[in-house]
Amino acid sequence: MKCSEVQSLFLAPRVPDLFGELPEAQNDLKGEKRRLTDQNRSKVHEEKKLCKEFVTLKGYVAERKGEREEMQDAHVIIDNFTSSFTHLPSEVSRLSYFAVFDGHGGVRASKYAAQNLHLNLTRNFPKGEVSSMEKTIKKCLLMTFKQTDEGFLKQASSQKPAWKDGSTATCVLLVDKDLYVANLGDSRAILCRVNKTSKKVTALPLVKEHNPTQYDERMRIQKAGGTVRDGRVMGVLEVSRSIGDGQYKHCGVISIPDIRRCQLTRNDRFILLACDGLFKVFSPDEAILFVSAILEDKTLIARPGKAAEDVRFEAACNRLASEAVRRGSADNVTIILIAIRH
């Protein structure tokens, strides 16, 4: 549940001055009121923080090269992103960050995005009080993706010959108990939510995929002078939004992510974040059920130096990646499982 809004504290209306001959005492009284008001405001902010701090996330990763010559995926797991910030709005108490980048045409765009996107995010994140946290964070994410794309394109164009790498980007940012998911391309983020009564698990998609066959994406590409052939931009590129891909930017390929906000509940168990190498052989529902079955496996117990939950999530992550390869996924496979702890 959201914490109730706390009304700002104000001093009582000023009454006529009956002690005009005692200016020192009056100033002391004002100072004491100001001191108490500041203390109360500080206490209110602390209470806001405490009542929000009930969700923590922990990420686990598995990677498989598959049949590709090289691993072109990259990923980032920062369970405690809060420590990367020196100043945060008073209502923000906990941040986590996770991302998967699926490279194509090379590994340079995905690596660049993995190294720089979260750094740009720390620079753009609000530092003082804001009127609307949701609007501010979404604006921050839009600017962050723009800067990351521009930074890579500048570096790529300065090379001889110019780099032609590109990458998808799917990022999950936790702000207290609110998830902000920003996506370019066809990697996915899925939330596992358990029905409180039936205990049935549900796969909730958190992103919108971007490929040239979708009507809005195709119309934008054609309006920019590009074409869609065989489901690809100019008959080559499988995604319609990406970081990099400088040679297709004039064809309507953009780096503007879709951004969605989702408030976590106590019925949410984990988040599955993965590139399309997984979803070429697994449906979202199949993947969620596969992971859930392993998390329920009581034969996976704690080991010295490792908790039972860690053992189960690591096993689920690795087995899912291996099963994707066994089922014939010829692509790179990168999977991040994010445990939700209340």
Separation between Cα atoms, residue 291 and residue 134, nearest integer Å: 31
Separation between Cα atoms, residue 214 and residue 218, nearest integer Å: 6
What confidence score (pLDDT) does residue 285 get? 97
What confidence score (pLDDT) does residue 232 get? 97
What confidence score (pLDDT) does residue 67 get? 83
What confidence score (pLDDT) does residue 66 get? 84
Q: What is the pTM of this model?
A: 0.83
pLDDT along the chain (342 residues), means of 10: 40 39 44 52 45 78 91 97 93 95 96 98 93 95 98 96 97 96 97 93 96 96 96 96 97 97 95 97 97 94 90 97 95 97 88
Residue pair 112/155 in contact by the 8 Å Cβ criterion: yes
Could you say which DSSP state residue 328 is in? T
Q: Which residues neighbour 221 within 8 Å (Cβ) at sequence distance 6 or greater? A: 212, 227, 228, 233, 240, 251, 252, 253
Q: Which two tokens stand for residue 178?
A: 């609110």
Residue pair 174/55 in contact by the 8 Å Cβ criterion: yes
Separation between Cα atoms, residue 34 and residue 272, nearest integer Å: 49
Q: Which two tokens stand for residue 52?
A: 């929000």
